[in-house]
């Protein structure tokens, strides 16, 4: 079970939610089955094992894991067949979350992101990690350290939207967002600083709703009010961010691993941007991190359900107007595209 300080409020909230049906996709190794049993015991998810029943039962028997209480959706013995069936179940509403088993992340997310999957949202898929770092006053979201290798401005806009949604699901109604870069000022040799400045301008136009967004910010200015003051870069975000948006996956992975290694912290993550939360643990993730990620999935699924209900127009009213990006923000995007080499 997860006992980290910043996760404890999440555990209390999850206990008050209905158990979330989740497809555990091709769970054909010890860790995948142990996660399914552990999270079922915790009551956060109701796992449905989607994969070849004979192989699943054989792995469980050899590992000494009792899966007798878990239902199995039998498929052909291939990751592709497991993913295909899991997507069908999700599209039909039989499951409300996906959890990656013994297959690659691309194998799972490719069919989800396909135009005909029925699960693809309006934004691109991205990943966000919740960091519970000892000694810190609050948890931190960091995105994207797992999926988008070198995101352009449009991709970063989606990453920021997705991350703000997760922050709100974790009960941060007005998240403070630090757009990280190598320096605190826009520099022509560092495209990420111009992207950060463009995202900050979009936020000032209300593109991201009720959020406080600042950048570019160097990591020390973002994380330390004293460093920000020394750098002459104080704002409502510096020293107290809820979300860190990194320039690219490489810098994000370096920052995430450095913070967790130095502090002994925990990183749990979700794939966002689809119509349901997706847990895609890394092969090296601890069982604690995997369970924590499933807890996040339960909270985010509840947030998605509440958002959809709130967006439903009354039965006697006209359909709600489509939400579009303000023209000024589109001009910012267009300007950055035309400036690209």
Nearest partner of 242 among 158, 138, 135, judged by Cα: 138
Please, which pLDDT band fits residue 320 given cuts at 50, 70 and 90? very low
pLDDT category, 262, cuts 50, 70, 90? Answer: very high
Provide the β-strand partners of residue 72: 49
What is the percent of the chain where pLDDT is above 90?
83
Q: What per-residue confidence (pLDDT) applies to 27?
A: 98
Q: What is the pLDDT of residues 112-125, one digit of tens each?
A: 999 999 998 889 99
Q: Which fold has domain 123-274?
A: Isopropylmalate Dehydrogenase (3.40.718)
Quick one: pLDDT at residue 121? 86
What digits encode the pLDDT tens for the residues 14-33? Answer: 999 999 999 999 999 999 99
> Does the structure show a pLDDT above 50 at 323?
no
| Per-residue model confidence (pLDDT) at position 340 | 53
Spatial separation of the C-alpha atoms in residues 263 and 259, rounded to whole Å:
6
Q: Does residue 322 surpass a pLDDT of 60?
A: no
Task: Check pLDDT > 90 for residue 316.
Answer: no
- Mean pLDDT computed over every residue of the chain: 92
Give the per-residue pLDDT at 341: 47
Pairwise CA distance, residues 226 & 239, whole Å: 8
Alpha-carbon distance 243 to 163, whole Å?
7
pLDDT in tens, 179-231: 999 999 999 999 999 999 999 999 999 999 999 999 999 999 999 999 999 99
pLDDT average, residue stretch 317-337: 56
Query: Can you give the pLDDT at residue 158?
Result: 97
* Residue ranges of the chain that CATH labels 3.40.50.10950: 18-120+275-282
Residue 276's pLDDT is 96
DSSP secondary structure, 266-314, as one string: EEEEEEESBSS-EE---TT--HHHHHHHHHHHHHHHHHHHHHHHHHSPP
Mean pLDDT confidence for 275-296: 95
Each residue's pLDDT tens digit, 137-185: 899 999 999 999 999 999 999 999 999 999 999 999 999 999 999 999 9
Q: For 273-289, what is the mean pLDDT? A: 95
Q: Which residues, other chains included, contact 114 with Cβ-Cβ below 8 Å and sequence gap of 6+?
A: 120
Is the predicted pLDDT of residue 318 greater than 90, yes or no?
A: no
Q: List, for residues 289-313, the tens digit of each pLDDT value.
A: 999 999 999 999 999 999 988 877 6
Tell me the DSSP string of 158-227: HHHHHHHHHHHHTT-SS-EEEEE-SSSS-BTTBHHHHHHHHHHHHHHTTTTSS-EEEEEE-HHHHH-HHH
All CATH 3.40.718.10 domain ranges in the chain, comma separated: 123-274
| Predicted confidence (pLDDT) per residue in 52-98, tens digit | 999 999 999 999 999 999 999 999 999 999 999 999 999 999 999 99
Residue 335, pLDDT score: 63
Q: Report the share of the chain in percent with pLDDT over 70.
A: 91
Domain 18-120+275-282: give its CATH code: 3.40.50.10950
For residue 180, the cross-strand partners are 217
């Amino acid at each position: 079970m997860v006992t980290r300080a910043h996760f404890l409020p999440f555990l209390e909230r999850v206990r008050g939610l209905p158990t979330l049906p989740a497809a555990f996709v091709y769970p054909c190794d010890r860790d995948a089955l142990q996660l399914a049993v552990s999270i079922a015991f915790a009551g956060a998810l109701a796992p449905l094992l989607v994969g070849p029943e004979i192989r699943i039962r054989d792995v469980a028997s050899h590992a000494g894991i009792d899966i007798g209480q878990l239902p199995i959706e039998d498929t052909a013995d291939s990751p592709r067949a497991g993913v295909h069936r899991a997507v069908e179940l999700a599209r039909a509403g039989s499951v409300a979350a996906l959890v990656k088993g013994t297959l690659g992340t691309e194998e799972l997310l490719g069919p989800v992101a396909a135009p005909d999957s029925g699960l693809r949202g309006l934004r691109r898929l991205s990943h966000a990690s919740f960091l519970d770092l000892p000694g810190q006053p609050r948890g931190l979201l960091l995105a994207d350290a797992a999926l988008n290798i070198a995101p352009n401005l449009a991709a970063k806009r989606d990453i920021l939207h997705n991350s703000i949604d997760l922050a709100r699901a974790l009960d941060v109604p007005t998240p403070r967002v630090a757009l990280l870069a190598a320096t605190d000022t826009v520099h022509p040799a560092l495209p990420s600083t111009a992207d950060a400045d463009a995202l900050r301008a979009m936020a000032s136009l209300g593109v991201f709703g009720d959020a406080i967004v600042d950048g570019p910010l160097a990591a020390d200015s973002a994380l330390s009010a004293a460093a920000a003051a020394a750098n002459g870069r104080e704002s409502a975000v510096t020293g107290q961010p809820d979300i860190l948006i990194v320039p690219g996956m490489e810098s994000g992975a370096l920052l995430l691993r450095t913070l967790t290694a130095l502090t002994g912290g925990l990183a749990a993550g979700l794939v966002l941007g689809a119509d349901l939360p997706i847990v895609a643990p890394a092969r090296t993730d601890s069982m604690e991190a995997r369970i924590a990620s499933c807890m996040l999935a339960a909270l985010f699924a509840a947030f998605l359900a509440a958002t959809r209900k709130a967006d439903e127009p009354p039965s006697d009213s006209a359909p709600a107007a489509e939400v579009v990006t303000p023209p000024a923000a589109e001009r910012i995007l267009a300007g950055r595209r035309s400036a690209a080499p």
